[in-house]
Amino acid sequence: MLLEARHLVKRFDVGGGLFRRAGQVHAVEDVSFGIEPGRTFALVGESGCGKTTVAKLMLLLERPTAGEVVYRGRAVSGLSGGALTEFRSEVQAVFQDPYSSLNPRLRVGRIVSEPLLVHNRMSGAEARKRVDEALEVVGLPRAAAKLYPHEFSGGQRQRIAIARALALRPKALVLDEPTSALDVSIRAQILNLLSDIQEEFGLAYLIIAHDLALVEHFSHETGVMYLGALVEWGPTQTVFDRPRHPYTQALLASAPHPDPDHPPPGDVIRGEIGSALSPPAGCRFHPRCPHAFAPCDRAEPATTDTGQGAWARCHLLDAGAPAPVRRGEPARAGAAGRPA
Amino acid sequence: MTDADAPALAVEDLVMELHLRRGVLRPVDGVSFEVGAGETLGIVGESGSGKSMTCLSILRLLPKPAGRIARGSVRVGGVDLTQLSERELARDWRGRRLSMVTQDPMTSLNPVFTIGDQVGSPLRHHRITRTLRETRARAAAALGRVRIPSPERRLDEYPHQFSGGMRQRAVSAMAIACEPQVMIADEPTSNLDVTIQVKMIELYREIQKETGVAIVLITHDMGVAASICDRVAVMYAGRIVEQGPSRAIFRRPAHPYTQALLDSIPRLGARRKRLFALGGQPPDLLDLPRGCRFAARCPKRMARCDEAYPPEFKLPDGHVSACWLSESEAVHAA
């Protein structure tokens, strides 16, 4: 494993206002996964599920309340000073919005070389050579180095952000919704570019996304998060072909397909995501779950091996209840999966 | 005053100009479409293609003083809105026969007024209700129609007491409170999570079934368009490049831009290793080519594409494509 999350927990203290009691936001609860070099792990879930907090924890931008971030077998959560700088030079990030992640006052050459100057104290000539290399990898001309971010389109800006992340020759990239601010026709360019880069340099990717089709297309392993916890994870094909957790099934059933002959998306779950300030007792998904039964509002479900390398946390599975639907066998008439 | 046989909304050759210091540009350049009662037309396209500007032009909510309607007509039930005065438009049409839902429910709701005040405001403004009691009853009915539970009690709550999905419902309730003939929804589900988005899609279908409102839905999400629209128009650089029944557009896209859009999105269940990636970017509206606006990015570009903008060719399955490649298949030039 190159990069691992081991039982990560993150809680934020909030409140203590005039009319409000202080509380704790349970942003991340016991999240574990690992990424091998050359592989992509995707975290998928709705807004507020904690996926971006996990990304920040993995980048050591936030310190976990409990648990560990492990890089090459070494716990790194407590690093500081030079060791932290070294970790950061190997694990870089690309963020969602290339309009706010690039400093508008700096030329592209400076933007891409800044991490080099911070981390390596290399000479100007060396840094310029690295910048040229990085720009070439992302498909931008060398002349781009002399221009400012506003002279580029959204897709090109995201290429600049990727070039900056690559300049240090990292081993892993954390991609937080790297294409959601881009137009549809540009998204494919960036996704293909990221795939090419991974293949060429053997990078490990952690991608945070809400678009299920993108995750299925792009990742090798997927973890589905709900209210701070992983509810189902495993090889992407297994999770998407045989979703065993009712939440994963609901997400897949809710996604609209660009095909009018496909059954319309099915509204299979109740209500909206609960509060991370006071997460529901027992299984966090039970207030919305169409299959909730006796133990769901009391006991936290155990982690069950669902086969083919996948795992899920659901009482239906540990109670040995009939297996929930597979893809293509709708949960409700025409609700889940895709046409045969 | 209205013509019973006319479509709910008919836009013909609409041109909107922005007069800027840099020059005059046409974000909407000769757009025509019709939407019947009980029908949903989807307008899809990328940012800057002119889809939102088309809708703002229909309502004549243009940036001042730069924006103006230069040509064309917008008919609602047979009445040409471009011929009306601003006063008439505001009094009898906007928010009443023609309403709009915008993308962000948080900015469409005023945080210091109650939901009841805001859903009731179009009713009072258009003098549909005369008394407070009447307004509250109608507002509660509108909230009930968008499936907000116990609407009477919810009238006195403020937007911050509503969840994201509920706020988008409340905004939709405002839009349908006056029972409009046409509702324009600009990316109504784009900021919502999929499990909430699917509820909104179902809600729009139900509202349409109950009220027969014609809906123009602007979206960049081809999945949303496919699951809700009867017909789809694809915009590129200010023009509709292809339009027709959803099935025809998604199953047999004729225009290379539509094909590229559909090929470039990852699909659930499709094990494709590589996505089709369209090169380049849309043209600068101040520096448009003489011929087809998509030619520079088109994988099927021919010599004549650079010479003249293609007319709209009508295809046998009822859809229309502005591409020279469609000429041989065309029934007759539309």
Two tokens, residue B230? 């009867």
Do A258 and A146 belong to one domain? no
* Interface touch B261/A184, C-beta < 8 Å: yes
| Percent of all residues in chain B with a pLDDT value above 90, rounded to a whole number | 77
pLDDT band at A22 (very low <50, low <70, confident <90, very high): confident
- CA B222, B223, B227, B228: dihedral to nearest 10 degrees? -50
At B275, is the secondary structure helix, strand, or coil?
Answer: coil
* B104 contacts: CB under 8 Å, gap ≥ 6: B191
* Interface touch A258/B46, C-beta < 8 Å: no
* Binding-face residues of A in 203-222 toward B, CB within 8 A: 210-214, 216-218
pLDDT band at B191 (very low <50, low <70, confident <90, very high): confident
User: Is the pLDDT score of A322 beyond 70?
Assistant: no
A241 Cα distance to chain centroid? 20
| A339 assigned to some structural domain | no
Chain B residues with a Cβ under 8 Å from any Cβ in chain A: 46-47, 163-165, 193-199, 201-202, 220-228, 246-247, 250-251, 260-262, 264-270, 272, 274-279, 281
pLDDT for residue A336: 37
pLDDT for residue B290: 94
For chain A, give the secondary structure using H, E and C.
CCEEEEEEEEEEEECCCCCCCCEEEEEEEEEEEEECCCCEEEEECCCCCCHHHHHHHHCCCCCCCEEEEEECCEECCCCCHHHHHHHHHHEEEECCCCCCCCCCCCCHHHHHHHHHHHHHCCCHHHHHHHHHHHHHHCCCCHHHHHCCHHHCCHHHHHHHHHHHHHCCCCCEEEEECCCCCCCHHHHHHHHHHHHHHHHHHCCEEEEEECCHHHHHHHCCEEEEEECCEEEEEEEHHHHHHCCCCHHHHHHHHHCCCCCCCCCCCCCCCCCCCCCCCCCCCCCCCHHHCCCCCHHHHCCCCCEEEEECCEEEECHHHHCCCCCCCCCCCCCCCCCCCCCC
DSSP at B81: G
- Closest partner CB to A188 (pick from B222, B246, B276): B276
Determine which of A40, A157, A158, A185 to mutate to test the interface with B (most B C-beta atoms within 10 Å): A185
How far the first Cα of chain A sits from its last, in Å, is 37
User: CB distance from A267 to chain B under 8 Å?
Assistant: yes
Q: In the beta sheet, which residues pair with residue A313?
A: A303
- CB atoms under 10 Å from CB of B92, counted, come to 15
Q: In this structure, are residues B15 and B70 in contact, taking their beta carbons and an 8 Å threshold?
A: yes
CATH, residue A46: 3.40.50.300
User: Among the three residues A219, A251, A269, which one is the final residue of a domain in this structure?
Assistant: A219
DSSP per position, B186-225: ESTTTTS-HHHHHHHHHHHHHHHHHH--EEEEEES-HHHH
For B277-331, give the secondary structure using H, E and C.
CCCCCCCCCCCCCCCCCCHHHCCCCCHHHHCCCCCCEECCCCCEECCHHHCCCCC
Do A161 and A27 belong to one domain? yes
- CA gap B197, B328 in Å, rounded: 40
Residue type, A318: D
From A184's Cα to the closest Cα of chain B, the distance in A is 7
pLDDT for residue B174: 93
User: Among the three residues A219, A240, A259, which one is the final residue of a domain in this structure?
Assistant: A219
Number of domains chain A contains:
2
| A165 assigned to some structural domain | yes
- CA B192, B194, B198, B204: dihedral to nearest 10 degrees? 20
* Interface touch B195/A254, C-beta < 8 Å: yes
Instruction: Lowest mean pLDDT of A80-84, A328-332, B265-269, name the range.
Output: A328-332
| Tokens 């990239």, located at residue | A173
pLDDT tens-place string over residues B138-171? 999 999 999 898 999 999 999 999 888 889 899 9
pLDDT band at A270 (very low <50, low <70, confident <90, very high): confident
User: CB distance from A143 to chain B under 8 Å?
Assistant: no
- Closest partner CB to B277 (pick from A188, A269, A327): A188
| A332 assigned to some structural domain | no
- CA gap B102, B150 in Å, rounded: 25
User: Is the pLDDT score of A238 beyond 90?
Assistant: yes
Do A28 and A173 belong to one domain? yes
Determine which of A217, A218, A268, A327 to mutate to test the interface with B (most B C-beta atoms within 10 Å): A217
User: CB distance from A262 to chain B under 8 Å?
Assistant: yes
User: CB distance from A184 to chain B under 8 Å?
Assistant: yes
Do A169 and A236 belong to one domain? no
Task: Write out the residue range of the structural domain in which residue A265 sits.
Answer: 224-318
| Dihedral (CA of A62, A63, A68, A72) sign | positive
From A120's Cα to the closest Cα of chain B, the distance in A is 35
B231-236 and B40-44 strand pairing? parallel
How far the first Cα of chain B sits from its last, in Å, is 30
Q: In this structure, are residues B186 and B218 in contact, taking their beta carbons and an 8 Å threshold?
A: yes
Domain with CATH 3.40.50.300 in chain B: 9-97+180-326
- Closest partner CB to A258 (pick from B197, B250, B281): B250
At B21, is the secondary structure helix, strand, or coil?
Answer: coil
Do A92 and A149 belong to one domain? yes
A153 by Cβ neighbours in 10 Å (0-12 / 13-18 / 19+) ranks as: middle
| A323 assigned to some structural domain | no
Q: For residue B236, which residues of chain A lie inside 8 Å, CB to CB? A: none
pLDDT tens-place string over residues B110-139? 999 999 999 999 999 999 999 999 999 999
Q: In this structure, are residues A213 and B268 in contact, taking their beta carbons and an 8 Å threshold?
A: yes
pLDDT band at B250 (very low <50, low <70, confident <90, very high): very high
Two tokens, residue B278? 């369209």
User: Is the pLDDT score of B242 beyond 50?
Assistant: yes
Q: In what order do the strands lie in the sheet with A74-75?
A: A23-35, A3-14, A66-71, A74-75
pLDDT for residue B310: 96
DSSP at B94: B
Q: For residue A105, give the nearest of A165, A148, A147, A135 by alpha carbon.
A: A148
* Angle at A279 (CA atoms; ends A277, A282), nearest 5 degrees: 160
Residue type, B16: M
Mean pLDDT score of chain A, rounded to an integer?
Answer: 89
pLDDT tens-place string over residues B286-300? 999 999 999 999 999
Higher pLDDT, B282 or A320: B282
- Closest partner CB to A258 (pick from B194, B198, B226): B226
Residue type, B189: T
- CB atoms under 10 Å from CB of A167, counted, come to 26
From A249's Cα to the closest Cα of chain B, the distance in A is 11
| A334 assigned to some structural domain | no
Do A139 and A276 belong to one domain? no
User: CB distance from A340 to chain B under 8 Å?
Assistant: no
pLDDT for residue A333: 34
| A337 assigned to some structural domain | no
pLDDT for residue A337: 36
Considering A80-84, A105-109, B4-8, the range whose residues carry the highest mean pLDDT is A105-109
Mean pLDDT score of chain B, rounded to an integer?
Answer: 92
Q: Is the peptide bond before A246 cis (omega within 30 degrees of 0)?
A: no
- CA gap B239, B322 in Å, rounded: 9
User: CB distance from A46 to chain B under 8 Å?
Assistant: yes
For residue A288, the chain B residue with the least C-alpha distance is B195
Do A202 and A251 belong to one domain? no
Do A177 and A254 belong to one domain? no
Q: For residue B216, give the nearest of B4, B78, B54 by alpha carbon.
A: B54
User: Among the three residues A156, A191, A219, which one is the final residue of a domain in this structure?
Assistant: A219
Do A157 and A17 belong to one domain? yes
Q: For residue A153, which residues of chain B lie inside 8 Å, CB to CB? A: 281
Q: In this structure, are residues A17 and A77 in contact, taking their beta carbons and an 8 Å threshold?
A: no
Q: For residue B41, which residues of chain A lie inside 8 Å, CB to CB? A: none
User: Is the pLDDT score of A120 beyond 80?
Assistant: no
* Interface touch B267/A257, C-beta < 8 Å: yes
Q: In this structure, are residues A312 and A306 in contact, taking their beta carbons and an 8 Å threshold?
A: yes
Q: For residue A273, which residues of chain B lie inside 8 Å, CB to CB? A: 193
Two tokens, residue B126? 């258009």
pLDDT band at B3 (very low <50, low <70, confident <90, very high): low
Do A214 and A229 belong to one domain? no
What value does the mean pLDDT take over residues A120-126?
83
Q: Count of residues for chain B?
A: 334
pLDDT tens-place string over residues A104-115? 999 999 999 999
Q: For residue A160, give the nearest of A120, A83, A102, A238 by alpha carbon.
A: A102
Side-chain half-sphere exposure of A316, counting CA atoms within 13 A: 21
Which uninterrupted H or E stretch holds B85?
none
pLDDT tens-place string over residues A135-170? 999 999 999 999 999 999 889 999 999 999 999 999
From A131's Cα to the closest Cα of chain B, the distance in A is 23
- CA gap A309, A238 in Å, rounded: 8
DSSP per position, B164-185: HHHHHHHHHHHHHTT--SEEEE
* Interface touch B275/A191, C-beta < 8 Å: yes
* Interface touch A272/B246, C-beta < 8 Å: no
Fold for the domain defined by B9-97+180-326: Rossmann fold (3.40.50)
Instruction: Lowest mean pLDDT of A190-199, B187-196, B209-218, name the range.
Output: B187-196
| A92 assigned to some structural domain | yes
User: Is the pLDDT score of A21 beyond 80?
Assistant: no
Q: In this structure, are residues A11 and A65 in contact, taking their beta carbons and an 8 Å threshold?
A: yes
Q: For residue B262, which residues of chain A lie inside 8 Å, CB to CB? A: 258
| A329 assigned to some structural domain | no
User: Is the pLDDT score of B77 beyond 70?
Assistant: yes
User: Is the pLDDT score of B332 beyond 90?
Assistant: no
pLDDT for residue A321: 52
Q: Count of residues for chain A?
A: 340
Q: For residue A304, give the nearest of A225, A232, A249, A228 by alpha carbon.
A: A232
ipTM of the complex: 0.85
Do A180 and A276 belong to one domain? no
- CA gap A278, A59 in Å, rounded: 27
pLDDT tens-place string over residues A191-222? 999 999 999 999 999 999 999 999 999 999 99
Instruction: Report phi then psi at B80, rounded to 5.
Output: -85, 110
User: Is the pLDDT score of A332 beyond 90?
Assistant: no
pLDDT for residue A23: 82
From A214's Cα to the closest Cα of chain B, the distance in A is 6
